[in-house]
Amino acid sequence: MATSLLILMLFLLPVAKPDSDPVQDFCVPDTGSSPVELTKLSTYPCKNPANVTAGDFVFSGILSPGNFSPETGFAGISVTPVQFPGLNTLGMSFARADFQPGGVNPPHYHPRATETALVLSGRVYSGFVDSTGRVHAKVIEKGEVMVFPRGMIHFQLNLGKSMATIYGSFNSQNPGLVRIPVTVFGSGIRDKVLEKAFGLTKDELEKLKNRFEPKGLIIDD
Task: Write the pLDDT tens digit of every residue in 167-215.
Answer: 999 999 999 999 999 899 998 899 999 999 999 999 999 998 888 876 5
Structure confidence at residue 44 as a pLDDT band (50, 70, 90): confident
Residue 117 predicted with pLDDT over 60: yes
Compute the distance between CA of residue 184 and CA of residue 50 in angstroms, rounded to an integer.
48
DSSP class of 45: P
pLDDT one-digit tens code per residue, 56-80: 999 999 999 999 999 999 999 999 9
Task: Lay out the sheet containing 153-158: strands in order across.
Answer: 135-141, 123-129, 153-158, 104-109, 178-179
How far is the C-alpha of 161 from the C-alpha of 153, rounded, in Å? Answer: 26
Domains and CATH numbers, the chain: 2-57+67-220 (2.60.120.10)
Three-point CA angle 88, 93, 95, nearest 5°? 140
Q: What angle do CA 187, 188, 194 make, to 5 degrees?
A: 100
Paired with 95 in beta bridges are 78, 168
CA neighbor of 151 nearest in space, from 128, 182, 124 = 128
pLDDT digits (tens, 9 = 90+) for 73-103: 999 999 999 999 999 999 999 999 999 999 9
Distance CA 147, CA 46 (A): 33
Q: Who wins on pLDDT, 91 or 32? A: 91
Give pTM, 2 decimals: 0.82
Is 105 within 8 Å of 177 (Cβ atoms)?
A: no
Q: Given this model, what pLDDT does residue 219 score?
A: 44
Between 188 and 158, residue with greater pLDDT: 158
Contact 176, 110 (CB under 8 A): yes
The per-residue pLDDT for 24 is 82
What is the Cα–Cα distance from 34 to 46, expressed in whole angstroms? 14
DSSP-derived 3-state class of residue 209: helix
Percent of the chain at pLDDT > 90 equals 72
pLDDT-based confidence at residue 33 (cuts at 50, 70, 90): low
CA–CA separation, 141 and 69 (whole Å) = 23
Give residue 32's pLDDT: 76
